[in-house]
Amino acid sequence: MKVGVVGASGYSGEVLVKLLLGHPQVELAAVTSRSHAGKPLGAVIPSLRGADRGLTFVDSDVAALATSEIELFFLALPHGAAATYAKALVPAGKRVIDLSADFRIADLANYQKYYGAHQAPELLPHARFVLPELTPDAWKTEAKLVASPGCYPTSMLVPLAPLLKAGVISREHIVVNSYSGVSGAGKKVEEAYLYVERAESTKAYGLVKHRHLAEVEEQLALHTGAPVILQFNPHLAPMRRGIATTITVPAAAGATIEALYAAWRAQYAGRPFVQLLPTGETPDTAYVTGTNRIDMSAVFDPRTKNFVITSAEDNLVKGASGQAVQIMNLWCGFDETAGLI
């Protein structure tokens, strides 16, 4: 099957390209970028020098992509831009997996509250938000367009959704602190992301209403049947990639750590990309970088009666491109783990 990456010169695009070049069932047939059109892939992504299969960047010309032989496109574009591509590709019969936020939020008013005007609201009924370990299978036949979850949302939804559903944690007073590598901000030249600003320094940002709350709260309400409100505190950490998330939440009356792990095991038994670490052992971004895994664990604090839950993932793999490949695998009937570790 021929696939293409639109926006292949960005951070998530680069990781997608590498995963797809190593995928046993697909042929990477197009890599696009407006600013690098005409350049060999290995000249723009130096880690692929000599290994770029002769691919050359083409312009991100949506009309040409819509009439190409390519069956499935990954959109690794900023939100807003992604919708304008989907608007032409989906009616042309292409499958689209969008890494941006444009189709993650089913409720248009909720999208507009955080992102402003939507460029293709007519596609929303055909789009499905898919977090493979949580989303019921119906999406595989219903979707024309799949929204891959955000990086921070993956790090919270995977731990929280089964626990809220099982009633082992409180629905209130959920506090989430996340620490992201700087690649999470995309490949942009801004003072805030310069080496001198970010090296050996950590700071909170995006308080108190980060845009990812839109999809996290919508998904938690969907999975658990009632509204959930989170306090979300994102931080920029001095690392290239990775997200470490710590969630503090009151335990439900009588809930034990064993009940918490039982709820996780019930949801994730047999899922290759969710690893449960024993209570007392905490996940580390160093051990998930380059993998499609999310590692997580929890501990009960008898003093405060809180559970403290921690997760770690690579923002560019399970938080973006690896998860998008996992979605393609499930959508196209390939092995879920094809091309992924």
Ligand X SMILES: CC(=O)N[C@@H](CCC(=O)OP(=O)(O)O)C(=O)O
Ligand Y SMILES: NC(=O)C1=CN([C@@H]2O[C@H](COP(=O)(O)OP(=O)(O)OC[C@H]3O[C@@H](n4cnc5c(N)ncnc54)[C@H](OP(=O)(O)O)[C@@H]3O)[C@@H](O)[C@H]2O)C=CC1
C-alpha 8 chain-centroid distance: 16
Contact 311, 158 (CB under 8 A): yes
- Residue 206 touches which of ligand X, ligand Y, none (CB < 5 to 8 A by kind)? ligand X
Contact at 8 Å (CB) between 56 and 34? no
**Shortest spacing between CB 135 and ligand X, in angstroms:** 17
Provide the 3-class DSSP secondary structure of residue 68.
Answer: coil
One of 99, 105, 130, 166 touching ligand Y (CB under 6 A): 99
Size of interface with ligand Y, in residues (CB under 6 A): 30
Is 7 a binding residue for ligand Y by CB under 6 A? The answer is: yes
Considering the rule CB under 6 A, would residue 324 count as an interface residue with ligand Y? no
Give the shortest CB-306-to-ligand X separation in angstroms: 26
134 binds ligand Y (CB under 6 A): no
Q: Contact at 8 Å (CB) between 174 and 231?
A: yes
Here's the x/- map for ligand Y, 156-195, by CB under 6 A: it reads as ---------------------------xx-xxx-------
The number of helix segments (H) and strand segments (E) in the chain equals 11, 14
C-alpha span between 149 and 195 (Å, rounded): 28
Active site residue 151: yes
71-79, 115-123, 135-143, 219-227 -> range binding ligand Y (CB under 6 A):
71-79
Subset of residues 91 to 110 that bind ligand X, contact rule: CB under 6 A: 100-101
Q: Are 339 and 284 in contact (CB under 8 A)?
A: no
Which burial class, exposed, middle or buried, applies to 238 when counting CB atoms under 10 A from its CB (0-12, 13-18, 19+)?
Answer: middle
Q: Which of 41, 45, 151, 294 is catalytic?
A: 151
Beta pairing, strands 294-301 & 27-32: unpaired
Kindly list the catalytic residues.
151
Judged by the rule CB under 6 A, the positions of this chain that interact with ligand X are: 100-101, 150-151, 180, 184-185, 206, 212, 234, 236
